[in-house]
Every structure is written in structure tokens, then in C-alpha cells.
Structure 1
Amino acid sequence: MPKIIIIGAGIVGCSLADELTERGYCDITVIEKGKLWKPGGSTSHAPGVVFQTNGSRTMAQFARQTVEKLYSLQHSDDTCFLKVGSLEIATTPERLAELHRRAGLALSAGINAQVISPDEALKLHPLLVRDKLLGALYVPDDGIARAVLADEVMGERAISRGARYIDSCEVTAIDQVDGHVTGVQTTQGTFPADIVVSCAGIWGPKIGAMVGMSKAIQPLAHQLCYTVPMPELASYKTEAELPVLRHQGSDLYFRQRGQSLAVGWYGHRPLAVKAQDILPAELAEVMPSQVPFTPEDWKGAMERSIEVIPSLKDTDIAESMNGLFSFTVDNFPLMGEWSGLKGFWVAEAVWVTHACGVARAMAEWIVNGHPTLAVHECDVNRFDAHQLGAQHIEERGAQNFVEVYDLLHPLQPMESPRPLRTTGFYQRQQELGGFFLEAAGYERPQWYEANAGLVDHFKSPSRDEWSSKFWSPIIGAEVCSVRESVGLFDITTLKRIEVTGKGSLEFLEQMTTGNLRKKPGSITYCLLLNDKAGMLSDITVMRRGEHDFFIGVNSNTDINYLKQLAPDTVHVRDVTAGTVGLGLFGPKARALAQSLTRDDLSNGALGYFKLKSTYLGHVPVMLARLSYVGELGYEIYTTADFALKLWDTLWQAGKEFGLIAAGRGAFNSMRLEKGYRSYGTDMNSEHNPHEAGLSFAVRKGGGYKGAEAFNAIDKDALNRRLVCLILENPQHVVLGKEPVLHHGKPVGYVTSAYFGHTIGKQLAYAWVPAALSNQGTSLSIRYFQNDYPATVGEDPQYDPQMTRLKS
């Protein structure tokens, strides 16, 4: 068994030690700079309020697992979780609508939730004022985590299995040899290790610096106060009986503590702290994770609190704190093995709400090679270089603090810093009135105002106020125009890598499911599988030469995964920043491209899924005959210095062919009509290729990672499938992540959704039980408080015979 050192004995570290020892990994040392079992990090002061509902299915499942585990733990005669339920209240129509949306998110993640009336809310929490309430979201299984008690229970359990805990011991350095961790230096000596897991929380950046790792963590202070005993709570004899309460419209939350109330406040300015400036325990006034209270930032908290809990008006504050906890640049935790040092793992920026679920996934990852839940959103290697700069981390962390309770649309981009990354096409896109959203730091057009004149010819159904945000009827006009003639799409945000060197073919054969033994000039759609045949990604492999592959991947996680496993003779290089891509799609795409080159682009010379290096005018390009929108066309790649010239060359030549620039909205509508999946949205590592309808991308036989597990799957005995749902009413818009119902009971969830402008139908892809996946099955989708009828339809809806793509 490997020697494992866990840095930090907060709730994540203790839960991880418990999970690992339960799986037989018992050679574990937990090193803690504070005192057990209240070491002084965020766990020690956190109020413990647990709201499971989250826009991310994985984060919601982490919370659900945390509740289940803590509720099962007993500390003497005390439970480690008080299942008092939660209320999220609404005092405006906008917030009430949001509660209905959040109820749908909860149901789609298997969490029991419902929107209740003001009177029902008042019965559950009598301190609320009736005339301010419009409704509340009630989740009966939410409550209060007693994290310090849980630390002790889980820690003692791990010790009983062989783990040891060393407190008052500070890590001073991480030892490594030949790119692999070998041990940890501390104030109590050096400890050898095969694996080091940093669960250091707010001190995470300090530990990361020891190995040259920049962590996208920003510690911020958050204000929390406890009142004196209140007469209105005098009848309560236990720690908590009232539901935890959240008033997001005023940046407030509340929890009972005996006969007092805790008031948490996010309405103050962001109070950023550097990890290296956090005081050691011996110098901290209370504990290291509590910094001096700033009364000026509390201004407004009680006034807003009184609006919904009037009894707070004459109540004094007994305790106050500015408690530190972690934000990241994208609001997800940091998990997994860092690509910069083998054996160095991270589980940080984890709130108490998700702690035990994160620890379980980490233990599965270490022991089994992969977690049960999909963790691509949380992978520590997911970040682009710009996201790891100190200024970016501080600014995004602070902004995420400000927005923590804000009403945010699923498409809402960050406002600052922008623009951050632009392609060489940006100037021309601005001139065409591009409406930009952000993707991987890039400015990416969603539609172009220059196409507004097309709307009269190509009508789109009207939308409600919520689904109309970051949308325009121009999107539908762009779809129809491209289907009739030709469109130009910016596809630069797709990650691109080169895999070269002797043995590159054999390496890619081992890592991917596709048949790559084809001549140079061929393209293959492949999957990356884990050992259980769960899909880690889907990639497009373009063979340029005998030992030269150009590959479209989904994320930095894919790139690091391949880099980590590549032999010394194989080189994996990220070429995204040095290249640009344009999609030229539509029935006139070949005629347009042919007008710019003397090379033969006929179907016989450059067929579907074939590749050619050529020139378009003066621009050297790689022309790939594939299309993610289901039309004849090409993905065109060149180096970044030729970007503007490539755009202008195509634009000038395209005038006689009816060329338009089209945005990401049109792209998504067209890909759904064609049934093309998007990794991370439609499928992830929790799904296998048969379930996702992608078994065609897996070659027969074996020799690739996950082959044994895939070949053992009985495709006629699947439990679930990804299906295409057609909503009965074309004006019924859904956006994704809504619950799918059968006879009123939740059975699945929507992944992607868009109106199919070519076929005139509202489409939604969704995961449903296999028994409900047959064409013609009647289901419904809950959008806010409405249930929209839908039917399982043919997949795909557009050009199922592939005649347009292959023409």
C-alpha cells in the first residue's frame, strides 16, 4: 500500500482519511498545524448551513453524499448533522421564479424540493414576517453540519484502522525526485510519502507554492454574527429546530443556535486575504481563520434582516467574526493529481456543504483510478494559463463573492476582465455587430447584428423573459441562411494539440477507441475511456503524417491526461494559442472554397472525414472535411498570424455565394438538430458509449483503455439512455438541466436544448431510464413551475442518412 500524507485535518482531510482507510489504504499520516479536533481552519468556525441545491449535478451530488454521511455519524449521543430542512425565501416575483427554477435543479439531481406558500413557510419558521413573503423553496433534507464533531468521529475512526494524526506540526517543504513526490518536511521532521494530498483549505496557495503550483484559490473574509438569546426562541431547548434560512435577494442567511440566531452577510465588499498573511494559531486572537471584525462592513445587514425577521429589530449582537473561506475563479473546488508533480494531489476550496462527497470522490480516484461521479468541472488541471495569474485569481474570486447570491443566467458571462483573449477575427466580428459571450477567456460571438435584416425571412418562435436573455431571433435567421447557402463560424475556442514522435500511433491507439490505422489525411472521431468504460472525453484525431497527429480536444484536462501518460518518445503539445479555426459550413461551402484553391476539393478528392493541406488564396491552411453542424463543409485551421487574412479572403470570395458570419447560437441549434453530443454537457465519465449513443466510435476488439469493461457491457440491458425529446409546443423553451418527468415523477434530466429552426421543433436531449427511451414515449419537462409535454423522437432529427454531410 502507498504511504499517504494528508495535509490538513479539517473536514475534508478527516473525511478523506476515513474514506481511504475504509478502503484498506491505512498507511496514512494526517499532518495538522493546529490542534485536534478544532484546528483553526474554515471548518472550525463555519456555521455549517447545508443547502444541497446547485446548478452543477456533481456539486449537488457531493452535497447529497455529505448530508447522508454526516447524518449517519454519531458523536457520543449527538448526531453530526441536524436535518432541520432549509427555506430559501422570495420577496420579489423575480426571486419567486428563481425558486421554481432551483426546485427543478434539485429534482433533476434527485433532491427532494418544492416551492411552498408563504403560510406554509411561516409554519416552518414562525419568525418570518408574512406580508413580505411570496413563497419559499423547501428542502426537508437540508440542515446543519456539526463539522467539528464530525472531524473527531471520522478522525478517530481512521486512527482505529491504522492512520495517525500529528497536530501542532507545520509543513515547511514538499520533497520530490525526478518529478515525483517523495515526502514532506515539517517542524517535527521529515515524513516519506508516495502520495501527498493537500487539504489545506485557505492555506492551499501556500502549500502549492512549495512545489511551484499556482492555485486558483482566493481566501476571502465573510461576516457572521450571533445574536444574544431572543425571547421568541425561548421555547426551543435544542441546538436547532428551525430550518436554515436563506434570503438571497438581500445577501443573507440565518440559522438557529439554541435561543440565538446566526446572521450571515454577503452584502459587504470583498475582503481578500493572502494565504501567507494568515496568522499562525499562537498569534491569532481567536483562530487563524477568523480575522478582526469590520463593523463598517456590517452596515445594512441588520436593516435588511429586520425586513423578513422583525424580531431582530431590538436584538443585540453577542458574537461577530470575519471568517475566512475559499473562492476559486470558477466557483468549483480543486480536485485531483496535479500534472506538475506525480503523487501530489489536491482537495481544496471545498465548503463544508460538499466536503464528504469530495472526499469520497478523492478516495475513489486514488484507489480505483477514477471517481464514480464526473469531476471534470473540478479537476485541478482544468485551468488556462491566464486563470492562474495572481491578479486574475484575486479579481475573479472577489467577483464570485459578490455574485454568490445573485440571480445569474446560465449563459451569463463574466463582466471583468474583458476582453481578455481575442482572435485575429475579433475586429471583423465587431464590425459585423457581434454579440459576444465568453468561452475559455475568448470573446466568442453568439450572433451578429449585421444579420438582423434576415429575420423577416426566417422567423423564430417568441421566448419568455428568462430564455430571451443572451438570445436574439437573429440566431434562427443565421441557421436558416447557413442551411440554404453558407456560413462562417469562429471555432477557435476548441482546444488543439499536436501528438508527434515515434510511437505516437501506438500511444493514441492505447488511449482512444478509434481505428487510427488509416493513411495520413484521414480523420477519426474517438473517445477516451476510463477503466470502467466511462467517457473521459471525445476527441477528433486528424492524421497529418506517419507520426504526426493534429487533435481537437475538449479541455486542458484532456491535454494533461495525455501528457501524463505519453511515453518519452511521444510529444504532446498544446497549439491552441498559436492557431485559429474557422468553420465554413453550408451547401455552397465547397464551391466557395474551390474558388480559392487550385487543388481538387471534389467529393472524390476530399471526401467526408478527410484532411488536406492547401492554400486558400495566399493563406496556408489545413482543410478538414467535417462539420459539427450537420452540413457540407470544412474546419479550416491556420496559424494565428494569418487569421485576419483568412477571414478577409473567405469574406471577399463569399459575397457571390451568400456567405454570412454566424454565431454560437446558430451552431448549437444546428448541432442539436443533427444530434451531435457535447462533452461535459450531454455526457461525461458517468456514462458509457452505449448509453450515450456513441458506440459507433469504439473499434471492435481491444487494445485501448477501458476495452475490457466496454466489451463486457450488455447493450440490451442498459439502465439509461440519452434521447432526443421533442416538445409538443414549439414555443415551450427549456435551457438545460431541467427535470424530466413521467406521470409527474422525476425520472431524468435535460442536458442540451434549443429550437431546431430547420425542422421547426423545440428539441431537448435528456437522460432517461432505458425503459422510457423508446420513440413515442410521452414525458414532460418541468420549466420553472410549468410541465411541458414532450415525446421521445428520432435521433437525429435532421439528415439521419448523412446525405448532406457526405455530398
Structure 2
Amino acid sequence: MSRPRLVIVGAGIVGCALADELTERGWTDVTVVDQGPLFAAGGSSSHAPGLVFQTNPSKTMTEFAAYTVRKYTALGERCFRQVGGLEVATTPERWTDLHRKQGWAESWGVEARLLDPAGCAELWPLLDRDKVLGGFHVPSDGLATAVACGEAQAARATERGARFLAGHTVVGIEARGGRVTGVAVVTSGEYRTIPADVVVCAAGFWGPSIGRMAGLTVPLLPLAHQYARSGPLAAKGEGPILRHQDRDLYFRWHGDRVGIGSYAHRPMPVTQDEIGPKSTTMPSVQAFTEEDFDPSWRDAVELLPALAESKYEDGINGIFSFTPDGFPLIGEAPQLDGFWLAEAVWVTHSAGVARALAEVLVTGRSEIDLHECELSRFEQAQLSPAFIEERGKQNFVEVYDVIHPLQPMESPRPLRTSPFHPRQRELGAYFLEAAGWERPHWFEANVPLLERLVRRRRDEFADVPEEAKGMAAEPFLGVSQRGEWASRHWSPVAAAEAHATREGVALYDMTPLKRIEVSGPGSAAFLQRMTTNNVDRKPGSVTYTLLLDAKGGIRSDLTVARLAEDRFQIGANGNLDLDWLTRHAPGAVRVHDLTPGTCCVGVWGPRARELVQGLTDMDLSHENFRYFGCKSGYVGHVPVLALRVSYVGELGWELYTGADMGLKLWDTLWEPGLAIAGGRAAFNSLRLEKGYRLWGVDMTTEHNPYEAGLGFAVKEGKDFIGRDALTTEITRKLVPLVCTEVVMGKEPVRHAGRTVGHVTSASYGHTVRRPIAYAWLPIELAEPGTHVDISYFGRRVPAEVAAEPLYDPGMEKIRR
């Protein structure tokens, strides 16, 4: 069988690892080119301190790092020393966060433990133990010698047929008919082209320059990061890598010296012009700025007093790559087939990313979910040079910060706003951000609703004994079931909004939901092939369906509204869905992003029909407008497309219109005085009560429809991508848990003393009056009534598997 001709740009640790992974899988026509020498080629790999800490809030990033540890450990001590990793807390907030990190490690299968100050000092005798509250120790973390790792992997790849070419400067990416054909290089003053069917850019911080040659924006910002060594010390150690994140510092031993890395200084962005090839110095290293490092040295001496006997030396400002969201860039260019990226990858994740990309290239999909890292995840609004720089610098500043999962970036905001935004601000919306969109999470205008709800709850429980009430009415609003972390970026106002939705009617801004139009001859057949359910129904119908990959993993879930014979509107999860559909669409089918020019408001609640029917020319009776149907008409003066669907489990419609008419639509719906505005906090509570899954959180490509509880969206006897790989025989299942406390998500779940799964989504169910968590569990534990424990910041939270949905199992509310 013929193999593609593949060229990798960049012989750093990522390029070498990718060549190794690809040749191991039988792709032997592999050429790796680099403008520098082999293998200290001049990129970040040439100076990287080589820290490999595995634990990360992202399961994907943890698995990348864990594979890197396994692979590089097998290469020998010249490449990797498994000295362990130790993070110390000097503040109560950090000590709390280390308990959260211990939960991630347990969820993702990394052996770790929390230590008291004495245990930390035993591993790092230089520590001032009086400054330390505790530590987090991972014995399998370690130090990778990046150049040696690259060379060792390159040697294996060379034995299998790969070529590594030094002194080859890439000057162009050649293409024809929308597909890459080769790489133009200059070597020893001569220009030549290396033919290629596939090109992978693994050029590190030079990635934006190579991307421009292919007509691609690479959202990566090179930033300088300081590293220095102490003078010789009386002690000589080989202890674990040490992180003092409260001061943005890390430490490692170099014989009788201690290396010190700092993220505490100002962001130092570096332009592509400033990191061109240099004949006398390493391109990845800039002049050390002592004035930036001096405060960090003082902080280092405070934690490690023995450093005071020396002075720092051998300092560098070394360049690393940062992206707007802190994740790598993996994937194929949207406008140039065959041109791929493996960019913004640190040594920590290098082998894991290389394996994942090799799997994608050879088999069409990675065994590890990549949605957080895929190149096409960014919206057009997130690709401006100003955005890339500002968010990249902020990620540098926050690299060691304690970050709440809902904590948004502060700037640039607002970037994207719905037409309803002015009214939301008038109502006192508390905004968080996602994909650049400002999204209200609750409204201060609803405080009176909360006050009424509290009075009502107190009246209901007036005869309940005091000892059973807990904290007055608070248990019945979910307040006392929330710890300090679960209370951040949340308000009890969400309880009032949830109750108002269940009992009246609320308006939810659904504008950030990605909207895609698929049209043209053959569009129905195309969508039938792409999705799991039957979307080839009569115009006016709406279908819930899934996108799968070749192995049957869930790429996304969609609602598909058939508007005409050859025109469909799709409610999708984001830009990845747009990219996936665009790549697969035949020539006659047009795939178009409707989102920027349109808006959507969800009108949901038992009084939704009462509100909208008096404003529209459409017949909204259940007999004439069935659940999962769609119609076009007017609401007041506003032309709308109405879909009778609901993500909160109540009667209602999604109303779509052009962005120019959005504010008029909101005002028209608001004027009768029946509706309140609802935010994302209430929305999340309501959807969990109904068991509605959130793609990317509750399920990913690592799960199939049957284990995710979405088998109903798979049409029997229908051919679609991933059909042949599907099986109904499952070993795990996504199930709801009712708990005694609101958790955050990603916590480990235990049964009989062992870790058996992890939490995905969590919230308080204001209707069922219980904290809810969805979790992946082995099939033998997935039966209702099974008792488990959630480990939450090191505490045991009892939970029980429940039957789903928790609210309205007969679907009576939504179909009335």
C-alpha cells in the first residue's frame, strides 16, 4: 500500500516525536527539515528546562503528558529522569487548590498524594517549612532533556526510513487546487522544492511565519520567559521539580546549583522578525533582563533560604509559545488540504501530541479527544493579531494562577454581543464569556423574585422543626449546599430564574449557539450521510442527531431543522462543526455560518404559548405546531423562524431573526410583562434536571452514543460516518447522581474504596431540590440506587445513582 510523502517543518522535540510516531505506524516517506543544526536547532526545545508535570484540569492535556512520561522514561535516563514533581502551597487558597488538583490526578489516573510541611521538606530540604502549608507530590513527574529526547526519537525514525535535513530554511508552501504539493527550501544558497502530499508545521514559535506561507493565521504568540541558575551551593540535590506557584516560580537541580524559572515578570512578546536565524546566538534565547528577575530572586530566597549564600547567574530570556486559550494547535488548515499544525506544544506534552496527530493522519482519528486543541476551534473574531497578543500575554500572566473554571478573561471585552445586550445590561446582567460572546448568567433585576421565593419557602416550611431546616430557607434554594468554590460566579438569583421558568415564562439568549445553513442540491443526502438520525423528513421538521467520527465517537450533537427541500438550518456546538461539515460537503452543497448576522431567543415555560400567541400570526396550538417542528412567521413586526424545541424541559420555542431585528424582537416579547430574563446559571440547572447532555463536557469523541445515553438519536438501518464502528455492548455509562453538595465537575467518583469514574457536569436542581452531578461509571455501578462517593477538595460527598430524567420523565411539560 502506498504511503503519503510527508514533510515535517521543524526538528525540535515535537517534529522528532512525530517522525517517530508516524514511522512506527508505517509511514516511512518522512522528511524533517530545519533551518538550524540537528538537534539543538534553535527553537524552544534547545533551551527548555524540560519540566514534565502531568496533572492538568484538562483530561486531554494530562493524557498527553502521561504518555510523554511513559515514552521518554523508556528512552533512558539520558532523556528522562523521573525525579517527581512537588508543588507547595504558601497560601490557604493554593492549599485548597492543591486538593482540587489531587482530585484531577485521581480522575485522570495519575498517582499523586498531598503532603504536610514535613513531608515537603523531606523531599526538598532547602525549603523553609514554616512558609509551607502543604504540598502536592506526583512521583512519576520528571525532567526531560529535550534535545536528547529529540535525537533519540529521530534515530528510531531514521532507522525506519525518515530523513532529517539540517540547514534547510523553509521559504514557501507550494499548493495546487487547494492542496499542498511541497515545501520550498533554501539550503547552502540553493532553492529547491521537496514534494509532499502532507506537510506538518512543527516549527514552534516560528509557526506564524510558516502559516502565513500557507495563507493560514496561526494564533500563537512567542513570549520570553526567564530562567537562571544559582551559584554553587553547599547542598547537592536531585529532588523533585519544585513549583512555588504562589510566586510564579519553579525550581530544579543542576548538580550543586538550583535552576529557577519565573513567570512573575511582565509579559515580553517577541515578533517573528526578532527571532529570525542568527549566526552567533541561539534564536530562542534573548538577553537576560536582571531588573525583571530581581523580585523573583528575592521570592526564591524567601522560600529557599540557602540560596542567599549565592547569586543568580547564567540567566536567559527564553522564548516559548502561548495561544489565546493556553491549549496547543493541532489540525489541518481549513483552506489548504494536507497542511497540518502541531504548534504551541511544550516539552511536557510533546510525545502525547505527536502520537495523537500520528493517529489522526494514519487512521483518521485520535484515541484521545482533541476538541480543546483543534486548530479550527477559534472563531474569526478570535484571530485578530490584537486578540492573539492580548490573550497570549494574559495566559502568560495567569499560567500559575488559581483559576476558577468559570473565570473569564478580563479583556478584550466585550468582543461579541447579541442584539439583546443593551436590555440585558439594563436588567443588571452578570456576564461571563465563551467563544468571545458575552453571556448573562443571572440578572440583578430578578432579586425581587428571589425575595418572594425565600418568603414562599419559609412559609412552606413554617411547621418544620428548626433542626431540620438547616439555614432558614437557604437549603431549599441550594445555597447551603454550595461551598466557597461552587458559590463563585454564581448567585441565588439563579434559583428564582429557574423557578420562574418552571412556573411562568423566561427569555434566554441563545445567540451564541452556532447556526449553520446547509443548502443546495444533495444537501439532504449529505446530511443523512453525516449524521446518525433521520434528517430526511418533510420541511417543517426538526431532528436531534449526532456527528460521529470514523470510530463511532461523538464529535457533536446537533438540531437540524429542514426549512425547504434543499435547505437546512443546524444548531451546532461551535466552529469545529462548521469546519467538519465544510470539509465533507460535496461541491453542490453550500455550508454557511449564519451566526454573525442572526440572533436567537429561547422563550420557555408553561406560559410561553400565552406570551407568544398574542404577538404572532402563527398558530402555536399543540395540534398545529408540534414538538420538534418549525415554522416561519412574524412576532409583532419581526420576521422569525420558530423551532419548537427546548433545552430546559418546558414548553417553548427558539425564535430566530436577523441581528438587525433582534432588539425589536426582545422588546416585543418583553412588552406584555409576562416574561423574566433567565441566565446561564438557571439554564444549566434546568438542563441537568432534564438530563440534557452538553457536548465537550458530558461526552466527547471518546464516547459512543449508547454509553452516553443518546442511542435514541441513532436511526437503525441508516448509513452514516461511524456506523460500522458502533456497538450497543457497553462497559460504562453516563448517569445522574443526586448528592449532598454541589460539586464543580471533573472530581473522582469512588466506590468500595476505589476510583471508578469522574464527574462531568454539576449544579443544584432547583426544582428537584437536590444537588445533581453527571458522571461516567462502570456499567455494573450505573443502576439507580447505587451509592458512591465524590471526592471534592479532599472531602467525601455521598451520592446516589438516580433514574433519569429527574424532572418530568413522561415529557408531559414539554409537549403540552
CA distance in 1, matches of 2:158, 2:532: 43
Distance in 1, matches of 2:452 and 2:806, equals 23
Cα drift, residue 58 of structure 1? 0.3
- 1:473-497 per-residue CA deviation (whole Å, 9 max, x = no partner) reads 0001100111000000000000001
Q: Which residue of 2 aligns with 1:736?
A: 745
Asked if structure 1 preserves the Cα contact closer than 8 Å seen for 2:174 and 2:183, the reply is yes
Structure 1 equivalent of residue 211 of structure 2: 208
2:201 is the alignment partner of 1:198: yes
> Is this contact kept in 1: 2:478–2:769, CA < 8 A?
no
Do the aligned residues in 2 keep the contact of 1:778 with 1:790 (CA within 8 Å)?
Answer: yes
CA–CA separation in structure 2 for the residues paired with 1:743 and 1:95: 30
Alignment partner, residue 130 of structure 2: 131
- Range 195-204 or range 701-710, more displaced: 701-710
Aligned-partner residue type, residue 279 of structure 2:
E
Q: Does 1:223 align with 2:226?
A: yes
Deviation (angstroms), 1:380: 0.5
Aligned to 2:647: 628
Q: Deviations over 1:376-423 (max 9, x none)?
A: 110011111121111111111111101111111100011001111111
Q: CA deviation at 1:440?
A: 1.3
Query: Which residue pairs with 1:180 in the alignment?
Result: 179
1:744 & 1:226 partners in 2: Cα distance?
44
Give the aligned partner of residue 142 of structure 1.
141
2:531 equivalent in structure 1: 512
Contact 2:521 2:589 in 1 (8 A): yes
Query: How far did residue 317 of structure 1 move?
Result: 2.1
Count the aligned residue pairs.
Answer: 786
> Residue deviations 1:580-629, cap 9 Å, x none?
00000000001111111232110010010000001011100001000001
User: Match for residue 804 of structure 1?
Assistant: 813
Aligned residue identity for 2:802 = G
| Offset of residue 336 of structure 1 | 1.1
1:74-103 deviation digits (Å, cap 9, x = unpaired) = 3xxx44211111110011111110100111
Contact 2:750/2:791 (CA < 8 Å) preserved in 1? yes
- Note the alpha carbon deviations across 1:623-643, whole angstroms, 9 max, x for none: 100000100000110000001
Listed as ranges, the matches of 1:342-491 within 5 Å are 342-459=337-454, 460-462=477-479, 463-491=482-510
How far apart are residue 465 of structure 1 and its match? 1.8
User: Equivalent of 2:732, from 720, 730, 747?
Assistant: 720
The aligned residue for residue 666 of structure 2 is 647
Deviation string, structure 1 residues 569-589 (Cα, Å, up to 9, x no partner): 000000100000000000000
Equivalent residue letter for 1:144: L
Aligned to 2:767: 758
Q: Aligned partners of 1:566 and 1:517: how far apart in 2?
A: 16
Match status 1:665 vs 2:681: yes
Distance 1:441 1:609 in 2: 29
Please give the TM-score of this superposition, normalised by the length of structure 2. 0.95
* TM-score computed with the length of structure 1 as normaliser: 0.97
Are 1:305 and 2:300 an aligned pair?
Answer: yes
1:249-292 per-position Cα deviation (integer Å, ceiling 9, x unaligned): 00100011111110001110000001232031314x2x110011
Supply the AA of the counterpart residue of 2:699: M
Residue 239 of structure 2 corresponds to 242
Structure 2: give runs of 5+ residues left out of the alignment.
455-476
Map of 1:49 onto structure 2: 51
State the 1:745 CA deviation.
2.1
Q: Separation in 1 of the partners of 2:115 and 2:407?
A: 28
Structure 2 CA distance for aligned equivalents of residues 718 and 124 of structure 1:
43
Aligned partner of 2:249 among 246, 252, 269: 252
Residue pairs, 1:299-338, within 5 angstroms: 299-338=294-333
Considering only aligned residues, what root-mean-square deviation do their CA atoms show, in Å? 0.9
Q: For 1:160-188, what per-residue CA distance to the aligned partner results, in whole angstroms no more than 9, with x for missing partners?
A: 00000000111000000010000000013
SS of 2:706's partner is helix
- Equivalent residues of 1:204, 1:275 under 8 A apart: no
Partner of 1:604: 623
Alignment of 1:545-694 (within 5 A): 545-653=564-672, 655=673, 657=674, 659-694=675-710
Q: Which amino acid aligns with 1:721?
A: K
Amino acid at match of 2:33: I
**How many angstroms does 1:121 deviate by?**
0.9
Aligned residue number for residue 496 of structure 1: 515
Does the residue aligned with 1:776 lie in a helix, a strand or coil?
coil
| Aligned mates of 1:37, 1:516 — CA distance in 2 | 53
Residue pair 1:40, 1:281 contacting (<8 A) in 2 also: no
**1:630 alignment partner, SS class:** coil
Deviation at 1:532, TM superposition (A): 0.8
Equivalent residue number for residue 42 of structure 2: 40
The answer to whether the aligner puts 1:770 opposite 2:779 as a matched pair is yes
In 2: Cα distance, 1:387 partner to 1:112 partner:
37
Tell me the distance in 2 between the aligned counterparts of 1:600 and 1:279.
Answer: 66
Q: What is the CA-CA distance between 1:450 and the residue it aligns to? A: 0.3
1:702–1:708: 8 Å Cα contact kept in structure 2? no
| Paired letter, 1:43 | S
Is residue 34–residue 281 contact of structure 1 (8 Å, CA) maintained in 2? Answer: no
* Cα shift at 1:523: 0.2
For residues 608 and 298 of structure 2, the distance between their equivalents in structure 1, rounded to whole angstroms, comes to: 62
Provide the C-alpha distance between the structure 2 equivalents of 1:170 and 1:743, rounded to a whole number of angstroms: 59
Matched position secondary structure for 1:802: coil
SS in 2 for 1:456: helix
Equivalent AA in structure 1 for residue 788 of structure 2: L
Which secondary structure state, in structure 2, belongs to the residue aligned with residue 803 of structure 1?
coil
Contact (CA 8 Å) 2:87, 2:244: kept in 1 or not?
Answer: yes
Task: Show the 5 A alignment for 1:99-114.
Answer: 99-114=98-113
CA distances 1:423-468 after superposition (whole Å, capped 9, x unpaired)? 1111100110000001211111000000001113335122222211
With 676-685 and 123-132 compared, the bigger mean Cα shift is at 123-132
Q: What is the deviation of 1:106? A: 1.2
Q: Contact 2:297 / 2:312 at 8 angstroms: preserved in 1? A: no
Q: Provide the residue aligned with 1:158 in structure 2.
A: 157
Q: Deviation of residue 545 (structure 1)? A: 0.2
Write the letter of the residue equivalent to 2:762: A
The alpha-carbon deviation at position 721 of structure 1 amounts to: 0.8
Q: 1:71 touches 1:79 (CA, 8 Å); kept in 2?
A: no
1:745 to 739, 751, 754: 754
**1:792 matched residue in structure 2:** 801
Greater displacement, 177-186 / 771-780: 771-780
2:743 aligns to what SS in structure 1? Answer: coil
Q: Give the Cα–Cα distance (whole angstroms) in 1 for the partners of residues 337 and 783 of structure 2.
A: 46
Which residue matches 2:334? Answer: 339
* Matched AA of 1:164: R
- The one-letter code sitting in structure 2 at the alignment partner of 1:168 is G
1:169 aligned partner, one-letter code: H
Contact 1:203 1:276 in 2 (8 A): no
1:127 and 1:777 mapped to 2: Cα distance? 48
| Contact 1:125–1:243 (8 Å) recurs in 2 | yes
Equivalent residue of 1:455, what SS?
Answer: helix
Q: One-letter code of the match for 1:665?
A: A
Q: Is the Cα–Cα contact under 8 Å of residues 612 and 623 in structure 1 kept in the other structure?
A: yes
Whether contact under 8 Å (2:54, 2:141) holds in the other structure is yes
